[in-house]
Structure 1
Amino acid sequence: MSNTLKRGLFACLLASVATPALAEDGYDLWLRYHPLATSGVIDAATVAVLGDTPTLKVAGQEVQRGLAGLSAHHVQFGTAIRSGGVVLALATEPRLQALGLKTDALGSEGYLVRSVDLDGRRVTLVTANSDHGVLYGAFALLRWVQTGHPVSAANLTSTPHIALRVLDHWDNLDGTVERGYSGQSLWDWWTLPDYRDPRYTDYARANASIGINGSVLNNVNAKAESLTPFYIAKAAALADIFRPYGIKVYLSARFSAPIELGGLKTADPLDPAVAAWWRAKADEIYRAIPDFGGFLVKANSEGQPGPQDYHRTHAYGANMLAAAVAPHKGIVMWRAFVYAQENAEDRAKQAYDDFHPLDGKFASNVIVQVKNGAIDFQPREPFHPLFGGMPKTPLMMEFQITKEYLGQATHLAYLGPLFEETLRADTLAQGTGSTVARVVDGTLDHHALTGMAGVANIGRDRDWSGSTFNQANWYAFGRFAWNPDDTSDAIARDWAAMTFDPAPATVAPVVRMMAGSREAVVDYMTPLGLAHVMATGHHYGPGPWISDLKRPEWNPYYYHRTTRDAIGVERGPKGNAATAQYAPALARQLADPKTTPERDLLWFHRVPWTYRLRSGETLWQGMVGRYDRGVAAVADMRADWDALRPRIDPTRYAKTESFLGIQQREAAWWRDASLAYWMSVNGLPLPAGVRPPAHDLDWYKAQKFPYAPGNP
């Protein structure tokens, strides 16, 4: 049989294996490995792995799988080095020593990919100081090829800026996911540890491809049962699957577990019996999971138990748990998301008030996990004042990948610009350039323990995240966690090329849609610094009129306080002085509405409806214009997507087309309901030529959604 015929038969066989019986459904994420139209990109026919660890093995298999799929040619896998092939090896491999490669700066997870002469043969080498680094390098090489570059031209090197790059799964033991919009929990607790769903491996592959190295398996609103032997065994099974991919498992710990599981009468962190119970529990977990990462804790927030129940500080609670895991080199991620009705002044100030006095009082293996903004994952919030406000304490960024407040599963809202905006924000804590990114990566305050967490948007839906474009937020989180200095546009281009195809005719319009999508959501939901005007409970749809709930901070009205004359919350010196929580130079800027960025105006200031924006428009005119701009942006996205119909597979095209239709309808609903309410209070007419709301305010108030997803 001729080589040409053999290659043709292999291509047919590969197509039959790679192409599902049903139409493409998004399961493969950005690791599709479909044949590239570009010729000459893949010239590697062999993949050689020098070494025999489980991680090196999966790295080699991934490169073989990727290159075979992208080229539709057979790629041989083994240990033989052949010209034109790819070689994966640790930097300590004896055969690499003659190359004189400089790998010290790569640390324990960085990688180096380049063409070298090895054993007299020209090959593409993937190397690192650890097998996990080799794995990350393998995925970097595949990304290079997927985005249209030749294997042999790869010259790649990168080292993660942040140590802990973690997904927080808000998954419950009953299979539901709090604020999850892509089906039931990925973890089938009922069949674990016996049945190890192949999806768990694909989940690990996807995370490793973007550098994620940790997974918190259960909801921060934790159940004590998560720490019982029954569930520890299940977590251990997942840890076994994840380990070759460099992913540690963590568990959310319920602070009152010593009472609920141990029969103690208290969970006081200063009680010796409580500390002893946690030490014994940590020992038990580490016997089952030797590389267990540690605990994530939500305490004294939204009804969760915590050390303040015993008149102890958060530092006492965190340090007690830290002592339990310290002998095993574990860590504690202690969340700073706290608010209670006892603090009636301003929910936005509470975390700073609780944690700022504790700066420097946490154990060395504690990292305080802080949300990107001071309230709760809004479409736009100013960066949290704790960033720059606790220089003696490692702070871990917490982003929400699942879009609880940004249209949930159906609205296209690429969060790369949100992540970038937050990380680029300058705290001015130590002069210009003291960005949030430098706080998070430890370079500003010289911390070695660093981290970034993302609340996962992953479920059991075939496309993992509820829609194709929601996958981009998982992808972007991983990329920013690896390198906070990356850009949202560059990440979007890579994602589009890998998820669809690298042709400019595909990538350019997809990136254009993504780049403006988050700003569109801000415009039609929360323009000019408005926040938390969503309906309560499920947070689906508008509800700025809600003002009758028991706790004031549960009401959207609390966050805008609209009257006939003015709108917004005064957080400057003439109000509750929340601006003083920022560094003095920034506080001075934010103290005056004229020097406050207009995107945050109503967050920091209460201003009259007649207030003049920099455009010369009144606040009311500018607000109406932004609502209309947001709705129009969704129409533009629909037009871009419609033009892509010939370039996108039918199934993924149709789902996105449907979701964009939902988004356009709901953007108009947000715009109309909001304007109807504001006009009912301020008594102002719409500017000339502006379309009035489709219904009266009572119609919008009457809309109910008792079974909205993500609110179990």
Structure 2
Amino acid sequence: MTKQLLLFFLVISSLAFADDGSRLWLNYDLIKDAKQRESYAQLAKFIVVSSDNQTIKIASEELQIGLQGLLGKKVAIVKTATGSGRIVLSVNKNAPSTTNLSEEGYEIYTEKDNIVISSKTETGVLYGAFELLRAIQTGKSLTNISIASSPKIKIRMLNHWDNANGTVERGYAGSTMWKWNELPYRIDPRYIMYARANASIGINATSINNVNASSRFLTAEYLEKIKAVADVLRPYGIRVFISVNFRSPRTLGGLKTSDPLDPEVRKWWNEKTKEIHQYIPDFGGYLVKANSEGEPGPQDYGRTHADGANMLADAMRPFSGIVIWRAFVYNADPNGDRFKEGYEQFKPLDGTFDPKVIVQVKNGPIDFMPREPFHPMFGAFPKTTLGMEFQITQEYLGQSTHLTYLAPMYKECLYTDTYAKGQGSTVAKVIDGSLYNASNSLMAGVANTGSDVNWCGHPFNQSNWYAFGRLAWDHTLSSEQIASEWIQMTLTQSKSAGQKITDMMMKSHPVYVSYTYPLGTAHMMGESHHYGPEPWLAKSARPDWTSVYYHRADSIGLGFDRTGKLSNALQLYSPEVQKKWGNSEQCPLDYLLWFHHVPWSKKLRTGRSLWDELCVRYYDGPVQVKRLQDTWETVKPDIDTETFESVKGRLKIQEKEALWWRDACVLYFGEYSKMPVPKPLMPPQRTLNEVKKLVEIYHLR
């Protein structure tokens, strides 16, 4: 299979064609600068491999494909070679390292005019091979190269919300990439591309199906299909996890209960886990959404989340896999505060979870809002291993039509201080295990892949998959560096164009927030489809699925008071965080309305009233989107035509929808503030009823 794959890529790399985005950032096009090509070529004449291991073979072939595409010269794979210009792939499981490399870590260094890629494991060598290619793609010097890198997070996972019927929950790039109807008999070539892309950024785990799980994925029919995918991913260092439905002992096993303390239920899970390992010997483990949004769980039987998780951990005891238990839980309480639900349900259980369990916590306490304060659980669970759950798919961030680069949002959360053990106790230190010396660690991202030819819908959405992987490997990397890498590997080698596009990407998240959720507003998107504005939404299947539940607009002001008057959620944080966010005069404006109900006429630090500041930000958003369009036009000569036109069209959609958000929110909140739009801003030219009709039209699609 690998020889056929190599031939396929060598053939397509020699063809001139529009870039459809299918190659992602593994875009090994010829380096334009002839001198630069030649300097690289002198250091890359041969790839020396002394092992027949499949992962090492993949690493050597990836180097061969990449180097021949980038340098325009054939680079042979050999078992031995003399002289200079050799790239040597070396696995030395017992070699002492001066850099304290982990099992997956790698070193790249110069030795007698040759380049050595070394690791304790074959997978580490594969990661090193991709790092060397990244260095060439981004124009770095290989002379006297010296790189040592180990992942800061042990489990770096994509969570797929893919269903057996081919749909993807919150998927905006077509149908599922997993062709269940063809598996296990046909292996789609995209599975191999998916594996290559993930390995190139260090992702080593994937949960293959939706957390709103069907028990069908635990049947022999589907285990055989999942085995076929696992066999493809394994040589790339990727382990497969399965999302499970907690009711499976009843729906599949015919038991009368799924009570985690029932001996027959425990026996069923033990036997099912053994069966899975017969198909997938290196099975990663279970991912569980329980007692959340209607999903079954241990609370159905009067048991705790720990009871449920520990039962599954016992089933995994003979094996190397783990259990990942999601903390996204909340009750439908019109008088409560969803902000507190996860914390209040899990805090009494701190210290009761089995060591094989990781509790997976969303970055914020509500639900992947464009900007949220960090989840209070990250600062209050010293005895439980907590994993991070970010969303890569842009459910509340413009889906596939808005350019929104998410690395700055991820970094904002990771580098906020929890003060759990004094100053410097960042969220990043909690999840990488360093704060409490945890033996395991997890960063998961809800995937944005689909059947679209470019994988992610919007061409720039690829950058969020890339950024997630890079930060899961090393969360100290800057957002600018990651953006620059992705641009050079994907869009253009032009330094001038690259800097302009980096600037666009770095501005994109603040711009999106400004026309959707400024000053800490939240959860005002269209019902069900989560697209476009619906701040007036007051009735839904449950109160915390409405907009009015969150913004609390009235004749006095706007915002959800969590300082004690309406909710005491702020008290879930450390005293230092409470001090920073608890005073409306000092609270960062980006979090202001998360914690305070502020009068419309209240003068903010900007010198403007709350109402005027709200309007200024809503109006500035569309202006900034227009500037993104103008900047994009200037890089046209340096961008593939197909990609350029795709982004250009989506930016026009984004401008139109930024105006939609602006008018909807300004007109709606204006009915409460009774204040005019401040000059020189012009009032919206349409009425609130006209804007509401746009939402009705969208529901009819």
- TM (norm. structure 2) is 0.96
Structure 2 residue matching 1:327: 3-state secondary structure = coil
CA distance in 1, matches of 2:169, 2:697: 15
Q: CA separation of 1:239/1:637 partners in 2, compared to 1, >3 Å: closer, same or farther?
A: same
Give the match for residue 89 of structure 1: 90
Q: 1:424–1:437: 8 Å Cα contact kept in structure 2?
A: yes
Aligned runs of 1:24-173 on 2, under 5 Å? 24-38=19-33, 39-40=35-36, 41-43=39-41, 44-82=44-82, 83-92=84-93, 102=97, 105-117=100-112, 122-173=113-164
Q: Which is worse superposed, 321-330 or 453-462?
A: 321-330
CA distance in 2, matches of 1:19, 1:629: 46
Q: 1:395–1:450: 8 Å Cα contact kept in structure 2?
A: yes
CA-based RMSD = 1.7
Give the match for residue 495 of structure 1: 486
Q: 1:168–1:453: 8 Å Cα contact kept in structure 2?
A: yes
218, 221, 232: which one pairs with 1:227?
A: 218
Give the match for residue 349 of structure 2: 358
Aligned-partner residue type, residue 208 of structure 2: L
534, 542, 545: which one pairs with 1:554?
A: 545
Structure 2 residue matching 1:386: 3-state secondary structure = helix
Give the match for residue 313 of structure 2: 322
C-alpha deviation, 1:650, in angstroms:
0.5
C-alpha deviation, 1:481, in angstroms:
0.5
C-alpha deviation, 1:91, in angstroms:
2.4
Aligned-partner residue type, residue 251 of structure 2: E
Instruction: Report Cα offsets for 1:221-243 as digits up to 9, x if no partner.
Output: 00010100000011100000000
CA distance in 2, matches of 1:244, 1:642: 42
Q: 1:343–1:350: 8 Å Cα contact kept in structure 2?
A: no
Aligned-partner residue type, residue 20 of structure 2: D
Give the match for residue 573 of structure 2: 582
Give the match for residue 700 of structure 1: 691
Give the match for residue 414 of structure 1: 405
Aligned-partner residue type, residue 691 of structure 1: M
Give the match for residue 483 of structure 1: 474
Q: CA separation of 1:533/1:134 partners in 2, compared to 1, >3 Å: closer, same or farther?
A: same
200, 216, 240: which one pairs with 2:207?
A: 216
C-alpha deviation, 1:153, in angstroms:
4.1
Aligned-partner residue type, residue 137 of structure 1: G
Q: CA separation of 1:20/1:456 partners in 2, compared to 1, >3 Å: closer, same or farther?
A: farther
C-alpha deviation, 1:705, in angstroms:
6.2
CA distance in 1, matches of 2:545, 2:590: 24
Q: 1:91–1:103: 8 Å Cα contact kept in structure 2?
A: no
Give the match for residue 441 of structure 2: 450
State the identity %. 47
Structure 1 residue matching 2:316: 3-state secondary structure = helix
C-alpha deviation, 1:313, in angstroms:
0.7
Aligned runs of 1:271-290 on 2, under 5 Å? 271-290=262-281
Q: Which is worse superposed, 80-89 or 405-414?
A: 80-89
Q: CA separation of 1:563/1:699 partners in 2, compared to 1, >3 Å: closer, same or farther?
A: same
CA distance in 1, matches of 2:504, 2:349: 43
Structure 2 residue matching 1:191: 3-state secondary structure = coil
Q: CA separation of 1:550/1:197 partners in 2, compared to 1, >3 Å: closer, same or farther?
A: closer
C-alpha deviation, 1:695, in angstroms:
1.2
Instruction: Report Cα offsets for 1:597-618 as digits up to 9, x if no partner.
Output: 1110001111100111111110
Instruction: Report Cα offsets for 1:259-291 as digits up to 9, x if no partner.
Output: 000001110001010010000000000010000
Q: CA separation of 1:462/1:661 partners in 2, compared to 1, >3 Å: closer, same or farther?
A: same
Q: Is residue 2:180 matched to residue 1:189? A: yes
Structure 2 residue matching 1:427: 3-state secondary structure = coil
511, 514, 531: which one pairs with 1:540?
A: 531
Give the match for residue 18 of structure 1: 13
Q: Which is worse superposed, 266-275 or 687-696?
A: 687-696
C-alpha deviation, 1:158, in angstroms:
0.5
CA distance in 2, matches of 1:371, 1:92: 36
CA distance in 1, matches of 2:158, 2:12: 31
Structure 2 residue matching 1:634: 3-state secondary structure = helix
Q: Is residue 2:663 matched to residue 1:665? A: no
CA distance in 1, matches of 2:669, 2:266: 53
C-alpha deviation, 1:151, in angstroms:
3.5
CA distance in 1, matches of 2:47, 2:620: 51
Which runs of 5 or more structure 2 residues have no equivalent in the other structure?
1-7
Aligned-partner residue type, residue 547 of structure 2: P
Give the match for residue 605 of structure 1: 596
Instruction: Report Cα offsets for 1:173-222 as digits up to 9, x if no partner.
Output: 00000000000100000000110011100000000000000000000000
Q: Is residue 2:561 matched to residue 1:570? A: yes
Q: 1:45–1:76: 8 Å Cα contact kept in structure 2?
A: yes
CA distance in 2, matches of 1:16, 1:582: 57
- TM (norm. structure 1) is 0.94
Aligned residues: 688
Q: CA separation of 1:307/1:691 partners in 2, compared to 1, >3 Å: closer, same or farther?
A: same
Q: 1:144–1:154: 8 Å Cα contact kept in structure 2?
A: no
Q: Is residue 2:631 matched to residue 1:640? A: yes
CA distance in 1, matches of 2:501, 2:426: 30
Aligned-partner residue type, residue 397 of structure 2: L
CA distance in 1, matches of 2:145, 2:685: 56
CA distance in 2, matches of 1:153, 1:174: 52
CA distance in 2, matches of 1:135, 1:691: 57
Aligned-partner residue type, residue 510 of structure 2: E
CA distance in 1, matches of 2:695, 2:552: 23
Q: Is residue 2:391 matched to residue 1:400? A: yes
Aligned runs of 1:292-441 on 2, under 5 Å? 292-342=283-333, 344-441=335-432
Give the match for residue 3 of structure 2: none
Q: CA separation of 1:708/1:479 partners in 2, compared to 1, >3 Å: closer, same or farther?
A: farther
CA distance in 2, matches of 1:206, 1:533: 35
Q: 2:259–2:301: 8 Å Cα contact kept in structure 1?
A: yes
Q: Is residue 2:609 matched to residue 1:614? A: no
CA distance in 2, matches of 1:426, 1:682: 35
C-alpha deviation, 1:596, in angstroms:
1.5
Structure 1 residue matching 2:514: 3-state secondary structure = helix
Structure 1 residue matching 2:502: 3-state secondary structure = helix
Structure 1 residue matching 2:663: 3-state secondary structure = helix
CA distance in 2, matches of 1:703, 1:503: 41
CA distance in 1, matches of 2:196, 2:699: 31
